[in-house]
Structures are given as C-alpha cells and as structure tokens.
Amino acid sequence: MDNQSLQAFVTVAECASFSLAAERLHLTQSAVSKRIATLEHQAGKKLFDRIARQVTLTEAGAALLPRAQHILQEYAAAVQAINDLSGDANGKLNLAISHHLGLHRLPPILKAFARKHPLVQLEIEFMDSEKAYENVLQGHSEVAVVTLALDEQPNISRKQVWTDPLKFICAPDHPLAKIHQPNLQDLYEYPVILPGINTYTGRIIQNLFESQNVPLKAPMSTNYLETISTMVEIGLGWSMLPETLIKNLHVMTTDHTHVTRELGYIHHTKRSLSNAAVAFIKMLENA
C-alpha cells in the first residue's frame, strides 16, 4: 500500500466524494479512481460503495480508515523529523486559518514568515474555526489560527494572541441608531443577522442574551462575518461584529459593551511541533 493510494483513500473518505477529493489533491477524478482501484486490489476488498451518486465506506473501508490516517501521519512526521535535523525551518507547514483572521490579522505575518523562512512550503486551508479544531485533532493541520473555543478541548493546546472586542452595530439609518442607549429588549424587537449558532462567535452572542433571559431569534444567519457586515449595512438587520468590520456602520452603546472573543492558535498536545511550526508560532506571539 503506497502513500499516494492511502492519501487518495483517506481524502475520498473525508470528502465522501471522488470529485471533491480530486480537487483537494489537485488530481483528475480518473487518477483518484485508479489509486482507489489499486488499493482495493491490494486489500482484496471493496472499500467504497457508490450508490445514487453517494460514496460511503464499506465495512472493510471503515476498518482501514483509522489505520490509513495513522500511517499518513507517521509518514509526515518521519519526513518532517528528517527535515528538522538541520535545525532550520523547512519542509511543509500545514496551517488551518479562519476566514476572518486570514483577511484581517494574518496577511502581514504570513508575508514576513515567507520572507524569513523561504525553505518552508506553506500549505494553508481557510475554514471555519470549528472545522479547524477538527483538522488539528485529525492531524491534517499542524497549527490552526482561529477563534478559540469557549471551553478547553481534549488534546488541544491553545494560546490567546489577540482579544477581539465585539460591537453591537446597525446601519446609520436604522431605527435602533436613534435610540441613545438601547438595551437587549430593544434589540429583540428588530431583525438580527448573526453568525451561526454552531460557531464560537455565535455562541458568545447567544449566551449573552440567554444570561439576561432575553429571547433571540435570528431569521438570517451565516458563518461569514463579512457577509453579515454587508447585510447590516443595507439595513436588513442589526448584528454584533468585531471592530474590524464596522466601517460605515453605527455602533450602539449598550450596557454590554465589553463583550470579546479570544483569537489565537492551537495545536495537538501529542504532536511534536516541527521547526517550521515553532518558528511560525514565535512570529505569531511577537505580532
């Protein structure tokens, strides 16, 4: 069982799709299918069922998946260990970065890191913070720069780098903008556009309203904060967003003006960090 076939197998299993796996691996769908066929021939078992355009693991595939993931992680660790023998930062550095941080916090850090460590090959995936946690736990990403979870997570080491204040905002011509100091009950009377409840930011806002026994109904939600900012700007509702996204918006003064979220980095507690990861974390902490 060669490394490339195992990688194709794991990627198809994670994507539940040959076409999506091909996109992630930068291969043709035919090439991915051939690698899976080779692996099935070697295993002597069918690994996937393909029914009505849905791809699911067979019993043999489900048994192979955790072992294949472990083999790939060990292979990557071995390659990195060899690269690290020189003491220099080199080789691949797999990063997971939240969309918001990728736009508003990290560009200058990534630019400086690439200049200082030209031998490091950055492999960056942009995703929701919640997904980034899973990526780190599964070994796909060595470090993630994200909105930190509200609670400690098993096998995750976390470090806060930034404090990100959240502000109540609305369009300048919104009725709420005319109220000197609206309270949560005032806000309840108008449509709200929030990050999804499955996001850490969404949970922070939901927890605030629940603590005051004020119901909060969001007829519209999205995980993309930039989209929320635009929807608020055109008057479709109010929201609560980081300071970096309140251009051309009215900031409401309330009794709850000190709501923040923590931004920082995470990595797996049981994974030895590569020289490249250590250098990147050092640059983050000095930002």
Q: Which CATH number characterizes residue 58's domain?
A: 1.10.10.10
Q: Tell me if 10 is assigned to some domain.
A: yes
Domain assignment present for residue 201? The answer is: yes
Q: Hey, CA dihedral for 129, 224, 247, 240, is it positive or negative?
A: negative
pTM of the entire structure?
Answer: 0.73
Has residue 17 been placed in a domain? yes
What the block records as the tokens of 232 is: 């608020």
Helix axes 3-15, 59-84, angle to 10 degrees: 120
Q: Domain count of the chain? A: 2
In a domain, 276, yes or no: no
What is the domain-level CATH number for residue 186? 3.40.190.290
Of 68, 85, 104, which closes a domain?
68
b/e code 12-45 from CB counts within 10 Å (16+ = b) = bbebebbebbbeebebeeeebbebbebbbeebee
Mean pLDDT by 10 residues, the chain (287 residues): 86 90 90 92 90 86 89 79 70 92 94 93 93 91 95 93 93 94 91 87 88 80 87 93 88 84 94 91 91
Residue 140 maps to a domain: no
Residues in the chain: 287
Cα within 13 Å of Cα(59), Cβ side: 0
Residue 78 falls within a domain, yes or no?
no
Residue 188 sits in which domain range?
163-260
Choose the final residue of a domain: 40, 68, 96: 68
Q: Is residue 127 part of a domain?
A: no
C-alpha neighbours within 13 Å on the C-beta side of residue 198: 8
User: Does residue 19 fall inside a structural domain?
Assistant: yes
Q: How far apart are CA 275 and CA 145, in angstroms?
A: 17
